[in-house]
Chain A
């Protein structure tokens, strides 16, 4: 498992029905591209987050494929329309098979 991986998300706690909200996400990850070499000239193996998804009450909001050219600590900011109260679930998939997830509730009034 890659070291120091920690997901963070920022979702408003409340929204009006049908309102468009901005969601920010960031995961600390080294995103080693697999293109670099160490001092001895050996290739440093690729180790990246290769997929990120966000679901709201089971419905997909975004599903993103990440490539090796994406920098350290990938950050995503996107918008979503919230029709009802519920929970956003965020999931990151690591090359090494690890899955990191976190969830945030939002109340619609």
Chain B
């Protein structure tokens, strides 16, 4: 009798072990080639400022399932490209008191916007602070077109930033963290390591200490933002960086900063700098 119950316990212990080991969610070894012609850098050596913390930076693409990864490898299958086309339509549409469209000044986005996504957020002499692509778009709308500003993380804005990201795909993220941007970068770094909310979690607790592990049913990635804006299968739309930050901070059960706030701009600069060297991927596809 005693023997049998021992066996049962042994069996339970073995199956528990199995569950525990299957909970790891290591990045998948795979190569991202878009449209069979453009191979993106999705893993690379960590930038110098991170070298004490991690050896390698890895795009969130590696942490997703086979089907999700495949969707991003073909522009026809990538639902984010529908929004890029919508962004192109508004690129060519004249609006505001000046009767100008983006195209009237900037011509073809494929040429004029190439490389923009890779270097933003960056310090603007004119604004006297670090600005994001969204800030720049709204500055153009307000001051050059005489049009109303778009909502920071609204549909029109995210379509436009998707267009701007898409023409830089394959170029390495390379945001400046020194010079006039240093102060903002330091603030972003502080926010990254500050625990927030009732759960007292910082960005680092999940995305630095636990990437490759499961958080409930989801894989934790490094939280890289080289793929933004990202088409998420869970809400079937494009999501901007700041909307994602807001979601994460909310999940720690904290009051969040708002999209477009100086805090999120600083955090965006810092998180972007953690992905210096990875290819711009936006619009990417994630869960």
Contacts and interface: CB of A to CB of B under 8 A. Distances in A.
Interface of B: 76-77, 79, 82, 85-86, 236
A72 B76 contact: no
B85 A10 contact: no
Contacts of B79: 73
Interface string A63-101: 000000001110000000000000000000000000000
Contacts, number: 14
Interface residues of A, number: 10
A72 B236 contact: yes
B77 A73 contact: no
B82 A24 contact: no
Contact of B76 (A4, A26, A71): A26
14 contacts: A4-B86, A6-B85, A8-B76, A10-B76, A24-B76, A24-B77, A26-B76, A26-B82, A28-B82, A28-B85, A71-B236, A72-B236, A73-B79, A73-B82
B70 to A, nearest CB: 12
Contacts of A24: 76-77
B229 to A, nearest CB: 17
Contacts of A10: 76
Given A26-B76, A28-B82, 4 more contacts: A24-B77, A26-B82, A28-B85, A73-B79
Contacts of A73: 79, 82
Interface string A1-43: 0001010101000000000000010101000000000000000
Nearest to A77: B77
